Amino acid sequence: MSITRTAPNNAAGNSGHITDLALVSAFKEAAQAVLPIMLGIVPFGLAYAIVGRSAGLSAGELLLMSATVFAGASQMIAVSILNEGVTAAGVLMVATLLVNLRHILMGATLAPRVAGFGLTRQAVIAFFMIDESFALTISRAETKGFSFRYYLAVGLLFYCGWFAVTAIGIVLGGLIDDPFALPIDFVMPATFMVLVVPFLKTRTGRIAAVVAAVAAVIGAVYFDGHWYIAIAGVAAAVSGALIETYTEKPTDAR
């Protein structure tokens, strides 16, 4: 069951309308997409909680961070910095800002699809905007249209899952001496590779992915920190925009 309502053209992307699902249907569809990806997040969440405990954070502080920040990469960087003895708030803020610069690009991509929503809904969309929810929602929107309820269902499932994994990691924290010795290095890259696959169906997507990969490697080699993430994102966005502008036929000239 779905509910369709007319919306301004700039809010619906190419479709000119927003097709929303019934809430139960949204959660059923979201669960099928989220659960396989959630498995890849589990080791990352466990490591965050375990490193956080070794850095001296209490269980309450770790759970509060997961509940209010809800950004795995930023949280992992924050607890890793704290674990090294750095407590300056400025250092933590700059480090997390750098790793989250990619959210500017994700927000810009979502903006035309949600421009017709009120401030409250846009704030909810911003809070639940993580790599996984963004990728799943945009991939679905390309074929079925943007659904706020689907986006909300995806976000809530990841939110609850991340909070639960944090709690489990806190419980297991005392059982693992060196969390960085766990074989989790390839888990998150593999998860993101799975998220990228749906975007490789077009020539533009494939070229942008190659450009991003090359830019990320170059950025990692020549720049310290996490600048390579922002560099890769900008390179992919610019290359994709240039290809669509100068080589592909317009898809919404109607």
DSSP, res 5: E
Q: At what angle do helices 187-196 and 23-54 cross, to 10 degrees?
A: 150
**pLDDT over 70 percentage in the chain:** 80
Q: How many other C-beta atoms lie within 10 A of the C-beta of residue 145?
A: 21
DSSP, res 174: G
Question: What is residue 17's predicted lDDT score, i.e. its pLDDT?
Answer: 44
Question: What is residue 249's predicted lDDT score, i.e. its pLDDT?
Answer: 53
Domain limits of the chain? 2-183, 202-254
* Per-residue pLDDT tens over the stretch 49-78: 888 888 889 999 999 999 999 988 888 888
The CA distance from 179 to 46, in Å, is 9
Please, where are the H alpha helices in the chain?
A: 9-12, 23-54, 59-68, 72-83, 89-99, 102-114, 119-127, 131-144, 148-172, 187-196, 203-222, 227-246
List Cα–Cα distances, 234 to 101, 196, 207, 216, 239, in angstroms: 10, 16, 14, 10, 8
- Reply yes or no on whether the pLDDT at 2 is more than 50: no
Question: What is residue 26's predicted lDDT score, i.e. its pLDDT?
Answer: 92
Question: What is residue 29's predicted lDDT score, i.e. its pLDDT?
Answer: 94
Question: What is residue 152's predicted lDDT score, i.e. its pLDDT?
Answer: 95
* Per-residue pLDDT tens over the stretch 9-54: 444 444 434 457 788 999 999 999 999 888 878 888 888 888 888 8
* Per-residue pLDDT tens over the stretch 103-160: 888 888 899 999 999 999 999 999 999 988 998 999 898 888 899 999 999 999 999 9
List Cα–Cα distances, 235 to 76, 105, 140, in angstroms: 25, 11, 24
CA atoms within 13 A on the CB side of 189: 7
Question: What is residue 51's predicted lDDT score, i.e. its pLDDT?
Answer: 83
- Reply yes or no on whether the pLDDT at 83 is more than 70: yes
Q: How many other C-beta atoms lie within 10 A of the C-beta of residue 68?
A: 9
* Per-residue pLDDT tens over the stretch 182-238: 665 565 566 667 667 766 778 888 898 899 899 989 988 998 866 787 788 788 878
Single pTM value for the model: 0.72
**pLDDT over 90 percentage in the chain:** 30
Residues in the chain: 254
Q: pLDDT-based confidence at 181, cuts 50/70/90?
A: low
Question: What is residue 214's predicted lDDT score, i.e. its pLDDT?
Answer: 94
